[in-house]
Structure 1
Amino acid sequence: MTSFSDSQISLLSSLSSGLLSRLLCHPLDTLKSRIQSPTLPLKTTFIHSLKTLINSHGYRGLYNGLGASVIGGTPGTILYLTSYDSYKASLSPSPLPPSIIHLSGGIFAEIIACIIYVPVDVTKERLQISTLSSEKVYKTSLDCFKNILANEGLMGIYKGYFGTVLSFGPFSGLYFLGYEFLKNEVKSRNTTSSGSADLTFNETLTCSLTAGALASWITTPLDLAKLRMQVSKSSLVDKEIALKYNGFFKALKYIHKTEGVKGLWRGGMVRVGFFTPATGITMGTFDFFKGKLKEF
């Protein structure tokens, strides 16, 4: 009999998984933000971006914005995963098909978590693209946050909130839809072959990696538009260009007009390269810790 309640298990598991994922995957997120930045040429490659960053800022540049990501993003992950778990629990049992519950649960979790995620995302991405300048634009994550708040107000900190929901809402919905579907398929196979429906850590990780890769690739244009909105007021972005990104759908239209269909998937492979291990580590360790804590 476990000494932890379901809510405590969910809280502790999401804390552990969120922290581990952000520490391990932040460099890939930095490179994704740089490649998708409107200040770089469309043909900028992953290798070129990596070499340029290391040459100008050293390996520490890969971790620009890590403070904001860990300090703010980890609570965001806790809110995200516990919201999803609570949503599923509140609809069980339900006449709705499981696919609808998982899809809508992912979107619901994103809407709630974005209250924390968006200020963190804005701060983190401003710091990440600041490495495109030879000068040190911000001293720390806190300095960047204060600078945005002082110059742009609360609206600056929540720049792109609805764009983030429109971007990551579909991502989360598709991710959980795929993740839960794949887990159920593996459970059915395990039950048939061994009589046990339990998934191993490797099986859970594989389901999460696959779902994360597919969801992140499909929603790349939405993420690109969201990022362009959030960094558009950076001092590194020309004011006339910034006006083109003043709105989520306006940004999508402008990117398509100037960069074509290919441009909409700018940074897509790096996004997949980031979100695949990030979601895999997050959900793999989340479910792993949940199982372990239930044994106490």
Structure 2
Amino acid sequence: MAMEAEAASVPELALADTDINWDRLDKTKFHIIGAVLFTAQSALLHPTAVVKTRMQVAGSGLSHMRGVTVFRHILKNDGIPGLFRGFGTSAVGSLPGRVLALTSLEVSKDMMLKYTRGLDMSEATRVGLANGVAGLFSNCVSCVYYVPLDVICQRLMVQGLPGTTFCNGPFDTMSKVIKVEGLRGLYRGFGLTAVTLSPASALWWGAYGAAQHVIWRSLGYKDEIDKKPSHIEMVTVQATAGMVAGACSSVITTPIDTVKTRLQVMDDYGVGRPSVLKTTKTLLKEDGWRGLYRGFGPRFLNMSLYGTTMIVTYELIRFNVETVEYKNISFTVWDVGGHSLGNSFSSIHHPVALSGHC
């Protein structure tokens, strides 16, 4: 009791104690609470995804507008519902995919951290490698599930634009795609997604893990030094690292995302099936090389904010579902309302399934 009282009086944690590993989580609570909070978080950012997608697919008029102008255009013509096209499909469809992605991500991350423990490399390199491999593996596993979901909800987002097919809801969308192209129509862009999404995720997580490690060290925090970061510092460092990682990733991956999005939703390709090469040629013919960065502004904003809010949300979930056994071992700090404050934000190791699905 004395130890708990002493811990409760100090709203700070040693840097080495701020990580929460997969084996310390209540998995059922983790996925239930995660479903609610991640869905709410996705709802806040969904309008930026709609704006980005419509700019990538639209003709020269809409695609050359600024993101804010496109946002106002959608709001004026379609109202609030227009900004949330495809959200229901994305929210419901993402539930099983998120479980799959998060589970594979955490398990692979923990395995990499264990296997690299004895290697001769710096802690920053080891953390970046573990996060990168975890993101790579998670996206490989979840790609099979998410590509059809992407095809369906993105087609709903671009309803009414030239070159797209009108569909009445997700099931009608799926039915029309299968009727014309069979099941392979739901996997348009699968190869491009599989080849590029995993390296992009590895880039994001590698940058995030390394960036946060560098930030902590630059602030003077080290595991072997008895210096304790406050919870505000933890949140700030995580949010900053997530924003930086998302921004860097968007700069590098936007051209690939533009080609993939158009490949998945456009139907006016003439003779033969649509392909990456045909899509790229059409895009270059319309706008030149700048066409590859259609929707860059909204995507930059989406990925930057997504990285920040996802990390904070994810760590809050992990903190709230840490098992009682491990809470007792780590002397978790509690507030007056009975909510745990200790271990609420991990300092370095914390991948989550961050992806641009829908």
The answer to whether TM tops 0.5 is yes
After superposition, residues 169-180 of structure 1 pair within 5 angstroms as 169-180=198-209
Task: Report the Cα distance in structure 2 between the residues aligned to 1:39 and 1:75, rounded to whole angstroms.
Answer: 35
- Residue of 272, 297, 302 corresponding to 1:274: 302
Question: Is contact 2:136-2:201 (8 Å) kept?
Answer: yes
Match of residue 42 from structure 2: 22
CA distance in 2, matches of 1:10, 1:85: 12
Q: Which has the larger radius of gyration?
A: 2
**Which among 184, 204, 224 is matched to residue 155 of structure 1?**
184
Cα displacement string for residues 234-286 of structure 1 (whole angstroms, at most 9, x for unaligned residues)? xxxx333x86x832355335534542222211111111111221222222211
Q: Hey, what's the Cα distance between the residues in 2 that align with 1:207 and 1:151?
A: 44
Compared CA separation, residues 207 and 78, structure 1 to 2 (3 A): farther
Q: Which deviates more, 111-120 or 72-81? A: 72-81
Tell me, in whole angstroms, the C-alpha distance in 2 between the residues paired with 1:40 and 1:124.
Answer: 23
Deviations 1:142-195 (A, max 9, x none): 332333233332111121112222342232111101111122223333525871
Is 2:295 aligned against 1:290? no
For 1:1-296, list aligned pairs within 5 A: 5-6=24-25, 8=27, 11-12=31-32, 14-41=34-61, 42-95=63-116, 97-98=125-126, 99-132=128-161, 137-188=166-217, 189=219, 191=221, 195-196=227-228, 200-233=234-267, 238-240=268-270, 246-256=274-284, 258-294=286-322, 296=324
Structure with the larger RCO, 1 or 2 (CA within 8 Å, 6+ apart): 2
CA pair 143-214 structure 1, distance change in 2 beyond 3 A: same
Residues 1:40 and 1:153: Cα distance change in structure 2 (over 3 Å)? farther
Aligned residue pair count: 287
Contact 2:24 2:323 in 1 (8 A): no
Letter of the 1:19 counterpart:
T
Aligned partners of 1:148 and 1:157 also within 8 Å: yes
Report the RMSD for the aligned CA atoms in angstroms: 2.9
Task: List alignment gaps of at least 5 residues for structure 2.
Answer: 1-19, 120-124, 325-358
Whole-angstrom distance in 2 between the partners of 1:76 and 1:28: 21
Indicate how the Cα distance of structure 1 residues 130 and 194 shifts in structure 2: closer, same or farther if over 3 A, else same: farther
> Given the superposition, is the C-alpha separation of residues 194 and 210 from structure 1 closer, same or farther in structure 2, using an over 3 Å criterion?
farther
For the residue of structure 2 that corresponds to 1:20, the secondary structure is helix
Structure 2 contact 113–130 (Cα < 8 Å) conserved: no
1:171 counterpart SS class: helix
Could you tell me which runs of 5 or more consecutive residues in structure 1 were left unpaired when the two chains were aligned: none
Q: Is the 8 A contact 2:200 2:249 kept in 1?
A: yes
Alpha-carbon distance change, 74 to 224 in structure 1, aligned in 2, over 3 angstroms: same
Percent identity for Structure 1 against Structure 2: 24
Residues of 2 paired with 1:14 and 1:294: CA distance? 13
The 8 Å contact of residues 283 and 292 in structure 2, kept in 1 or not, is answered as: yes
Q: Deviations over 1:11-47 (max 9, x none)?
A: 3564344312221111110010000005344423223
Structure 2 contact 57–266 (Cα < 8 Å) conserved: no
Query: How far, CA to CA, are the matches of 1:81 and 1:250 in structure 2?
Result: 35
Classify 1:124/1:261 alpha carbon distance in 2 versus 1 (closer, same or farther; 3 Å): same
C-alpha distance in 2, partners of 1:78/1:40?
39
